[in-house]
Amino acid sequence: MALLETITSPVALKALPADQLPALAEEIRTFLVAEVSKTGGHLGPNLGVVELTIALHRVFDSPRDTLVFDTGHQSYVHKLLTGRQDFSKLKKKGGLSGYPSRAESEHDVVENSHASTALSWADGIAKGRRLSGEGDRHTVAVIGDGALTGGMAWEAINNIAVDKTLPLVIVVNDNERSYAPTIGGLADHLATLRTTRGYERFLDWGKRSLARTPVVGGAMFETLHGVKKGIKDIVAPQGMFEDLGLKYLGPVDGHDEQALERALSKAKDFGGPVIVHVITQKGRGYQPAIDDDADQFHSVGKINPETGLPFEVGGRIWTDEFNDEMVAIGRDRPDVVALTAAMLIPVGLDGFAAAYPDRVFDVGIAEQHAVTMASGLAYSGLHPVVAVYATFLNRAFDQLLMDCALHRAGVTFILDRAGVTGSDGASHNGMWDMTLTSIVPGLRLAAPRDGEQVRKQLREAVDVSDGPTVIRFPKGDVADPVTAVRAVGDVDVLFENAGDEVDLLVVGVGAFAALAIEAGEKIAAHGRTVRVVDPRWVLPVSDDVVGLARRAKAVAVVEDNLVSGGVGAAVTLALREAGVDVPVHTYGIPKRFLEHASRVQILEELGLTADQVVADLEPKL
């Protein structure tokens, strides 16, 4: 029997002799490559934390001791060591989540896959347990160097550091990367810690040399050791952490399991908050991942495990349209600059960065800073384009509202992976953005229906200088081109089977335009008069949409966003304010968190297919 098969819990792991741990680590890596290559998932991050996760579970007693992973995409090894070894449906409906999940195991705590949160969680858990008289239970936060670029992590450190008896261990998993290489002042500091061993060597030399000096040698060494703080600041600047009041251990080789156990045991016994700085290699043990300069196989689809090459060549995606058009705009508009939060490649700014490197700012996992910095750039006369995943705009709402919109800053926001994304679960669905942005005064939001509209509306957006604009589009292959029949003002008519007056006006939002057309055609086939439109700029609701609704007996809005506070709600309010008394039927995402599954499965479950919309809508007409 393979060693991994015998590890049904952390108790079984603790019982394994130390000399068998290297073999277990090798089995885990082999398992990860074999299984994740079949399903897709976060491969590189997990290959890098095999020994670290083994050591954590051997030193601490999960679930009595709490392990909090930031952001959670490196939790596959943790799942394996806590009895979850069926990866056949990883990230698929009915299978394991790609992140920690309380529904799966008592060993999982934080499901949210938004970065830089683990230290705040851990601070609260540790203090809460101490107040409950459970001060002997330890809390461990595992946070990457990339996640440490987020301001929330430093807010937590500021509070943790003053509590000298808090039983909390912070493990900094330092692989020099978040998605791509970590950048910024913190990254430079960690690089210094990673490479500087001069302090220890200096003291070792001093002790050996001065010990040979008669009478005064010992005293001189004690004096030297007494000024170690000054020396340490020069040759090994871990003083940044110690100045905050945190005990620092490391750097520790993250692939030396026994060294990790020793360091973690010291941290556990210290009696207060400790940082254990661990150096790991993303993609460890799998050469195709190590050779991948872009992201060390941070996340992969189905691949050939022997070569690391994908089995299917992906088609053109929505992000590609944005990527190419940004390069073209950059050539035409030297005032256009771009910002992202540690996601340069995933959001499609790598082309712009290659062409105009001085006009791109990767701020790390710091969306709040990105938005306010963009407002400052706009004030200086530039037009910033801030590109993030739609789910991460949530993190910078206050800055969007008070720093950008209040000051009428001409900033364009690109929201990639908007709507239902599916397999990454509740925290990655970009289903909140139109609800959030709908309440921002002066903000204009476009939802392109295809690649041509991405390009066209991006150019329209960067021409706006008196307030924020938003362009949002989904994950995956770009939609087939949808040609308008005609235009009514700024609204594109995509289908109609009557003259001026119609039984039903269908408003298709963004990528749901094709669904709206299909539903409209099916209803028209049953003898109804129907007009299907794409507003293009969906927020605020245009007078043209109101005018078209005035000439319809009913309106239906189909959107890839929350029904609550979404475009349908905005249309309803706009019609009421204009005195247009027609029923509005809204179809979108209900106000609940969605389980991981494919996008198609989720949309079908929510009733967001043409057949389901028609079946619900027809009896109401």
Nearest by Cα to 447 from 116, 456, 397, 198:
456
Q: What is the spatial distance between Cα 150 and Cα 117, in angstroms, rounded to a whole number?
A: 9
Q: What is the spatial distance between Cα 249 and Cα 276, in angstroms, rounded to a whole number?
A: 5
Is 93 catalytic? The answer is no
The active-site residue, picked from 282, 417, 475, 531, is: 282
The active-site residue, picked from 395, 417, 472, 528, is: 395
DSSP 97: -
Is 395 catalytic? The answer is yes
H or E, element range at 252: strand 247-253
Q: Which residue has the tokens 């996760």?
A: 53
78 is in an annotated binding site: no
42 is in an annotated binding site: no
- Looking only at the bridges linking them, the beta strands covering 584-589 and 555-562 are parallel
Q: Which long-range contacts (CB under 8 A, 24 or more apart) does 452-461 make?
A: 452/481, 453/536, 454/318, 454/321, 454/322, 454/325, 454/478, 455/321, 455/324, 455/325, 457/536, 457/537, 458/322, 458/325, 458/326, 458/329, 458/412, 458/414, 459/325, 459/329, 460/537, 461/412
CA distances from 565 to 37, 168, 411, 438, 543 (A): 40, 41, 23, 7, 19
511 is in an annotated binding site: no
DSSP 41: B
H or E, element range at 229: helix 228-235
The active-site residue, picked from 261, 367, 460, 559, is: 367
175 is in an annotated binding site: yes
Is 452 catalytic? The answer is no
367 is in an annotated binding site: yes
Asked if 233 contacts 239 with a C-beta cutoff of 8 angstroms, the reply is yes
Sign of CA dihedral 253, 256, 259, 263: positive
259 is in an annotated binding site: no
379 is in an annotated binding site: no
Asked if 387 contacts 352 with a C-beta cutoff of 8 angstroms, the reply is no
H or E, element range at 250: strand 247-253
Which residues lie closer than 8 Å to 24 by C-beta, 6 or more apart?
Answer: 3, 4, 7, 16, 54
Q: What is the spatial distance between Cα 40 and Cα 205, in angstroms, rounded to a whole number?
A: 51
73 is in an annotated binding site: yes
Asked if 384 contacts 374 with a C-beta cutoff of 8 angstroms, the reply is yes
Q: What is the spatial distance between Cα 547 and Cα 533, in angstroms, rounded to a whole number?
A: 12
525 is in an annotated binding site: no
Q: What is the spatial distance between Cα 362 and Cα 386, in angstroms, rounded to a whole number?
A: 10
438 is in an annotated binding site: no
What is the DSSP secondary-structure string of 109-175?
------TT-HHHHHHHHHHHHHHTT-TTS-EEEEEETTGGGSHHHHHHHHHHTT-TT--EEEEEEE-
Catalytic residues: 282, 367, 395
Instruction: Tell me the binding residues.
Output: 73, 113-115, 145-147, 175, 286, 367
Instruction: Tell me the binding residues for Mg(2+).
Output: 145, 175
Instruction: Tell me the binding residues for thiamine diphosphate.
Output: 73, 113-115, 146-147, 175, 286, 367
